């Protein structure tokens, strides 16, 4: 296992012939995982819109006119009903997202209560609530939170073209606070925002140099939303996205690499190549935070064609590797 990847080394991986890259990624994947199992997570937006940040890709920012209605924090009963439905459909992890710069006051206390309830349902609990200080991370751990999601989005160089209201260091500090409490890290980024190949390599390098690597690495394809500054950015070539999945798998072989946002518009053939490249986690259900997602029945049908099985607590996909 390596934690010293350079950007130049990762650029060279991206530039490999496609078949060679896929072969290398699949070899790395099989060392640590059952290649025919995928972890299923369901993501629910428990507080939508009205975010003060200026992330140029995000329809939840209050700075852009995207016709997205701002909503208050959901009631616990509604969240628990959604969690029960997710478990019924086969999800093993329930993720709750709130459009905040950072959690505050009574709303944060209510989220802590939701986390305890999800854990009582025998599901893994994940949250993405913005920036965290050390005390907030401690409270989330005490509530039983398993995973905290906080993406880097891109590399440090391209980051300044995407966001001005939160620094790269702010993001890294939140991740340090999460790690300090012993919670697992869900951290990835977005591709297709107009970045260069070197920026994609730089993002992967930032993730792959974390020790330990993030347990979950979501790779998102930009979902272009009218009203955001990125509504008209040029489409990323599908093969460049698949290559990003493969490079993430090679550099972080023991992490779950999640095929995340943008999956709704991907063909079955493209998704299949992503699974071959080492993706072994998806968001499962009809909606991500504010954008569409594949319906659960569609995913079940694709899994049946590919011979893929959902990962469960009783049948984990992770393999024990000695001296890796």
Cite the active site residues: 51, 55, 58, 95, 126, 186, 258
Q: What's the CA dihedral at 284, 288, 289, 290 to 10 degrees?
A: -150
Residue pair 6/208 in contact (Cβ under 8 Å)? The answer is no
Residue pair 71/169 in contact (Cβ under 8 Å)? The answer is no
Cα–Cα dist 304/12, whole Å: 35
Residue pair 193/162 in contact (Cβ under 8 Å)? The answer is yes
Phi, psi of 169 (to 5 degrees): -65, -35
Cα–Cα dist 271/277, whole Å: 10
The upper half-sphere exposure of residue 78, i.e. CA atoms within 13 Å in the direction of its Cβ, equals: 11
The candidate with the shortest Cα–Cα distance to 249, out of 8, 17, 35, is 35
**Other C-beta atoms lying within 10 Å of the C-beta of residue 267:** 9
109 forms beta bridges with none
């Amino acid at each position: 296992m390596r934690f010293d990847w350079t950007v130049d080394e990762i650029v060279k991986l991206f530039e490999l012939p496609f078949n060679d890259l896929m072969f290398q990624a699949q070899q790395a994947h099989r060392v640590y995982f059952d290649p025919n199992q995928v972890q299923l997570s369901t993501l629910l937006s428990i507080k939508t819109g009205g975010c003060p940040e200026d992330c140029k890709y995000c329809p939840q920012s209050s700075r852009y006119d995207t016709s997205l209605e701002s909503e208050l924090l959901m009631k616990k009963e509604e969240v628990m009903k959604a969690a029960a439905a997710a478990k019924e459909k086969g999800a093993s992890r329930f993720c709750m997202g709130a459009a905040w710069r950072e959690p505050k006051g009574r709303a944060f206390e209510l989220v802590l209560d939701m986390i305890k309830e999800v854990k009582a349902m025998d599901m893994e609990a994940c949250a993405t609530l913005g920036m965290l200080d050390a005390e907030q991370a401690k409270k989330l751990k005490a509530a039983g939170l398993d995973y905290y999601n906080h993406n880097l989005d891109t590399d440090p160089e391209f980051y300044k073209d995407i966001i001005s209201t939160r620094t790269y260091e702010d993001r890294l500090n939140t991740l340090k606070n999460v790690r300090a409490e012993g919670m697992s890290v869900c951290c990835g980024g977005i591709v297709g925002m107009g970045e260069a190949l070197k920026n994609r390599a730089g993002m992967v390098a930032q993730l792959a140099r974390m020790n330990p690597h993030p347990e979950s690495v979501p790779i998102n394809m930009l979902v272009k939303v009218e009203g955001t500054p990125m509504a008209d950015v040029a489409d990323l070539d599908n093969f460049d996205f698949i290559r990003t999945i493969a490079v993430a798998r090679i550099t972080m072989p023991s992490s779950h690499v999640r095929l995340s946002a943008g999956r709704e518009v991907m063909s079955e053939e493209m998704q299949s190549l992503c699974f071959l490249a080492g993706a072994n986690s998806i968001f499962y259900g009809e909606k991500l935070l504010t954008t569409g997602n594949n319906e659960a029945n569609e995913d079940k049908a694709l899994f049946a064609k590919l011979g893929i099985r959902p990962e469960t607590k009783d049948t984990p996909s992770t393999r024990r590797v000695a001296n890796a």
